[in-house]
Amino acid sequence: MSKTQIPAGGIGADAIDATKIADDAISEEHLDPTAITASTEKSTLVAADKFLIADSAASNAIKFVQQSNLGSGSLVKLTQANSLTDASVVNIDSIFSNIYSAYRFVGTFKPTNSSVNARFRWRASSSDLSVSQYYGSARGGYKNGSSVGEDDANEWTASHATIAENLNNNNYNALHLDMLLYPYNNGGVANIGSIDNASTFIFQSSYWRDASGERHEQLSGGYTYTQTTVPDGFALYPTAGDWDGYNYAVFGYKG
């Protein structure tokens, strides 16, 4: 059988489609690096992002693996944000999932006003969970020159949790937070059934208090929200004015 050779210039643009390419015909020598380097970069990964792999257990068949299944350790950064623009509330939504058993939140917040409290609420479907079922307390101490003392914050059947009181809006010490979050969940690794049908968090806060004579204060405590709505996020807000600026990160614990 005679063969006819078609010169490259004789093939019109877009004349060859997928039906003209044999299966397994394209290998690494036909791929240009710009297939990767010219693609849009994504700087923050989320659990559902996918990576291509050659599965050694299946004759190197091409498959994908999700970011949530990569061996990245038990503590995974889920989100991070900062702003110097006034905000009446910081909402962190759609952050919880079934693959994490607990969460770590660290942040710095500075209020525009003095003599304001900082409050916390769980959120679900972009709305605050504000039923009056927040219970908890915190104890701490303060220092003001030669004076030292104790202080506390507490709530019982409240629509929120108080995590700092009478904040000062000076420029040398904002509100610093470290929190462990255990949102109620009825599925996945965080589902522990009837032994804990509530959303709970434990926290430490450090800040300057606007009192009769400024003083530095720290609180440690915890709160429980007993309504069995599955939260997907949370909110932090001052009782008056705005947050003048903030910086935070949320991490998830696998397992």
Give pLDDT tens digits for 18-63: 777 777 777 777 777 787 788 888 877 777 888 888 788 888 888 8
146 and 83 within one domain? yes
Model-level pTM?
0.72
179-214: per-residue pLDDT in tens?
999 999 877 666 665 667 899 999 999 999 875 567
* Residue 96, domain member (yes or no): yes
Q: Where are the alpha helices (DSSP H) in the chain?
A: 34-37
- DSSP 8-state code for residue 157: E
The answer for residues whose C-beta is within 8 angstroms of residue 66's C-beta and 6 or more apart is: 47, 48, 49, 50, 51
108 and 227 within one domain? yes
76/71 Cα distance (integer angstroms): 10
165 and 93 within one domain? yes
**Residue closest to 205 by CA, chosen among 241, 146, 161:** 161
What number of CA atoms fall less than 13 Å from residue 230's CA on the CB side?
Answer: 12
137 and 92 within one domain? yes
* Residue 224, domain member (yes or no): yes
28 and 96 within one domain? no
Q: How many domains does the chain have?
A: 2
87-118 core/surface letters (b: 16 or more CB in 10 A; e: else): beebebbebbbebbbbbbbebbbbbbebbbbb
Residue 99 belongs to what domain range? 75-254
Residue with more model confidence, 4 or 71? 4
